Chains A and B, each alone.
Chain A
Amino acid sequence: MSGGATTPQRAPAKPFYFNTSAHLARITSFKAANLTEFLQALRECPEDSIFHHTFQTLEEHHFIPEGFSNDFAHWALAHRNEPTLAEQLASVDVREFTSVEELRSRIVQIVENFLKQDPASAAISAQQPFYFCTSDGVVLPTSFVAHNLQEFVEGVRRVSVHSIHHHFIEARLRIKLMSNDFSRWLQEDAGLTDVARALNRIDIYTATLEDIRGQMVRIIEPALT
């Protein structure tokens, strides 16, 4: 790892390579001017679009610690003035899903249920349409590689928030587990099961990515001694 480090207390089975990802938003042809169109588009839009408006938007708005969970909830409140629907959509926690299709089903179910209870709201026009986007992304290596816990903490301190998002939030879709890259390495390669679990319990919806970084460092540091 760049910068060097002291001898680790434990010798992980393999190093942790810090990567990052970068995304370019692409505008799709799916657009919804009311809840009927919204529901239809949610059912038919590409998986990447669901990813973009849930996982990806957390990165784009990583600096807001409260009141922003996904683009669907934001639109329902800000442009369609449906606070109940907005709250229900906002309660969807991306960490509970290891596939985008499961996540899509949950969102569709929420909107369907809402429209069953309030069918009259289906055709009311939104102040602004919802434009469904997707992301074209690339994964990039960073200069940080951790061969031990000390280097791992240093990497967590110094990588960009995009790298934190990549390993901590996006990762669960990639590894198809209810976990993240950091916890997985801490548990499987560094043998720190409790630390791994504590990291995985960090609430991403009440903290900024910088806050999350700080919490991670505070959780891991005691294991250094």
Chain B
Amino acid sequence: MEPAKRPKSESKSTEKDEAAAPTGTPATPERRRASRVWERPQATEPSPKLDDYRSVVGEAEIDELLCLARGVKGKTVKMVNSTSVGGGVAEMLNRLVPLINELEVVAHWDVISGDNDFFEITKAFHNALQGRPYELTGHSKEVFLRYNEQNRQRMQFHEDVIVIHDPQPAALIRARADTNASWVWRCHIDLSNPNREVWEFLRPFIEQYDAAIFSSVSFTRQLPIPQYLFYPCIDPLSDKNRELDDSVIQRVCDEYGVDRSRPIVTQVSRFDRWKDPVGVVQAFKLARKYVDCQLVLAGGGAIDDPEGAVVLKEVREAAGDDPDIIILDLPPRSALEINALQRASTIVVQKSIKEGFGLTVTEALWKGKPTIAGAVGGIPSQIIDKLTGVLVHSVEGCAYQIRYLLTHPEFALKLGKNGHEHVKENFLMTTDVKRWLLLLRILLQKRGARA
């Protein structure tokens, strides 16, 4: 892997690090403010081995991965993205690449390089492709193509399969003519309603790939190449998701003033209007007229994002001086704390009104938590209404479901159990590895047939 750290101005929030943002003005009461996590050493998590997952997903599942890998043993694949640190894609590749290598498929990871001007433009492309207004200029196109060309000349593509992640390096497909590889574009963003100009600029590149991969059926575009569905995944052995001793959960709750003897309703997400934290406060206040409970809003993003600070202020105003509403603006790398808060929760809410895939929902389901979430983005893929969780469309609906689940624990338990199984089957790192192995087999078979 060639480390090419993204310029600071380009660091972007993704679902995986939604709550990993610097702390802002702390919440009340004071004991909730004193966050010792600032002083916690930021140790790098060791990369788990395949065998470590046997106890999580079962012997047979891992044996099937080994069997699947035998068909592509010794084959090579290169992953290319735009950053080695920060963001959901880098986090996922950090876990995925070692596991694929352990299966004796040779996986390389390369990172494109570029200056601020390039990353500013690709960030604008990223937002425009997800629907934000943007005026595409000739200069932007020229900068995008120039850096892609520089990277094309710098990189080598000797592998059997080349996987290009997201739009930033998409024009590397120009190297295709010099290779025998199968080329795949892995799109992690929602392309359902893109800025037309930007999409029309990128589309000719995308159409040259052998296949594209999307995170949800609703994120796709009409393309003349095969489009595969790879759900985003979580790692059950990461600090964010691994099992925790009850003492750890208790310590975190004590630290933030969360009372475990009473029901806890939690939303974990950035202080962002699309996550509707004010709506969550309103729903909580409606529900609490009938049921005793506390609300924990755990997020981040208020310091480096001016809009986040505004939203946090609005949330605090909506909460008023209610002692049962605990607002936590967590610092970066609070994965363990988020894990503990999710595990301590009676119900998890993700009342988004616009969403990517919604990995905080995946995390909650994995922990067996009855989950109430907005029916947007990739959330309906995870929450099958009334079977693996509950979908809502309004503050009032959210309030009612909080009341219902708190007063119907057997139903809540069933949702949590089904939700956990749904994640185990479809949204874990091991399933992601399986999808990659399958795709390699399919692509290599096709290439063999062509040859």
Contact with A along B361-388 (1 / 0, CB 8 A): 0000000000000010000100011111
Residues of B11-61 whose CB lies within 8 A of A:
58-61
Residues of B381-406 whose CB lies within 8 A of A:
384-388
**A68 with B217: CB separation less than 8 A:** no
Bound-state Cα–Cα, A69 to B380, Å: 17
Bound-state Cα–Cα, A74 to B381, Å: 12
Say yes or no: is A104 at the interface (Cβ < 8 Å to chain B): no
**A27 with B384: CB separation less than 8 A:** no
**A61 with B229: CB separation less than 8 A:** no
Say yes or no: is A98 at the interface (Cβ < 8 Å to chain B): no
Residues of B57-84 whose CB lies within 8 A of A:
58-61, 63-64, 67-68, 71
* Surface stretch bound by B, among A82-90, A116-124, A125-133, A167-175: A125-133
Contact with B along A92-116 (1 / 0, CB 8 A): 0000000000000000000000000
**B418 with A64: CB separation less than 8 A:** yes
Say yes or no: is A5 at the interface (Cβ < 8 Å to chain B): no
B224 to chain A, nearest CB (A): 9
Q: Which residue of B lies closest to A129 (CB)?
A: B218
Checking A25, A29, A160 against B64 with a beta-carbon cut-off of 8 angstroms, the contacting residue is: A160
Contact with A along B188-220 (1 / 0, CB 8 A): 000000000000000000000000001001101
Q: Which residue of A lies closest to B223 (CB)?
A: A29
Checking B60, B68, B217, B434 against A27 with a beta-carbon cut-off of 8 angstroms, the contacting residue is: B217
Residues of chain A within 8 A (CB-CB) of B220 are: 27, 131
Residues of chain A within 8 A (CB-CB) of B67 are: 20, 140-142
Given known A74-B384, A133-B217, contact A22–B438 (CB-CB < 8 A): yes
Bound-state Cα–Cα, A31 to B426, Å: 23
Say yes or no: is B435 at the interface (Cβ < 8 Å to chain A): yes
**A138 with B227: CB separation less than 8 A:** no
Q: Which residue of A lies closest to B231 (CB)?
A: A25
B373 to chain A, nearest CB (A): 14
Bound-state Cα–Cα, A26 to B228, Å: 4
A19 to chain B, nearest CB (A): 10
**A163 with B60: CB separation less than 8 A:** yes
**A63 with B422: CB separation less than 8 A:** yes
**A140 with B64: CB separation less than 8 A:** yes
**A63 with B425: CB separation less than 8 A:** yes
Residues of A55-85 whose CB lies within 8 A of B:
60-64, 67-68, 74, 78
**A128 with B229: CB separation less than 8 A:** no
**B218 with A131: CB separation less than 8 A:** yes
A170 to chain B, nearest CB (A): 15
**B228 with A64: CB separation less than 8 A:** no
Contact with A along B414-451 (1 / 0, CB 8 A): 00001001101110000000110011011000000000
Say yes or no: is B226 at the interface (Cβ < 8 Å to chain A): yes
A167 to chain B, nearest CB (A): 13
Say yes or no: is B9 at the interface (Cβ < 8 Å to chain A): no
Given known A26-B227, A63-B422, contact A127–B442 (CB-CB < 8 A): no
Checking A24, A68, A127, A163 against B384 with a beta-carbon cut-off of 8 angstroms, the contacting residue is: A68
Bound-state Cα–Cα, A27 to B231, Å: 12
Say yes or no: is A158 at the interface (Cβ < 8 Å to chain B): yes
Q: Which residue of A lies closest to B212 (CB)?
A: A27
Checking B222, B229, B386, B422 against A25 with a beta-carbon cut-off of 8 angstroms, the contacting residue is: B229
**B64 with A24: CB separation less than 8 A:** no
Residues of A130-175 whose CB lies within 8 A of B:
131, 133, 136, 138, 140-143, 158-160, 162-163
Q: Which residue of B lies closest to A162 (CB)?
A: B64
Checking A23, A26, A62 against B425 with a beta-carbon cut-off of 8 angstroms, the contacting residue is: A62
Given known A60-B426, A138-B441, contact A20–B384 (CB-CB < 8 A): no
**B422 with A61: CB separation less than 8 A:** yes
**B218 with A128: CB separation less than 8 A:** yes
**B387 with A64: CB separation less than 8 A:** yes
Q: Which residue of B lies closest to A137 (CB)?
A: B438
A97 to chain B, nearest CB (A): 24
Residues of chain A within 8 A (CB-CB) of B229 are: 24-27, 133
A72 to chain B, nearest CB (A): 14
**B387 with A67: CB separation less than 8 A:** yes
A16 to chain B, nearest CB (A): 16
Given known A22-B64, A128-B218, contact A68–B387 (CB-CB < 8 A): yes
Instruction: Name B's A-contacting residues (CB within 8 A).
Output: 58-61, 63-64, 67-68, 71, 214, 217-218, 220, 222, 226-229, 375, 380, 384-388, 418, 421-422, 424-426, 434-435, 438-439, 441-442
25 contacts between A and B (CB under 8 A): A20-B64, A22-B68, A22-B434, A22-B438, A24-B439, A25-B229, A26-B226, A26-B229, A27-B217, A27-B227, A60-B426, A61-B422, A63-B425, A64-B388, A64-B421, A78-B385, A128-B380, A131-B217, A136-B438, A138-B438, A138-B441, A141-B67, A142-B60, A158-B59, A160-B60
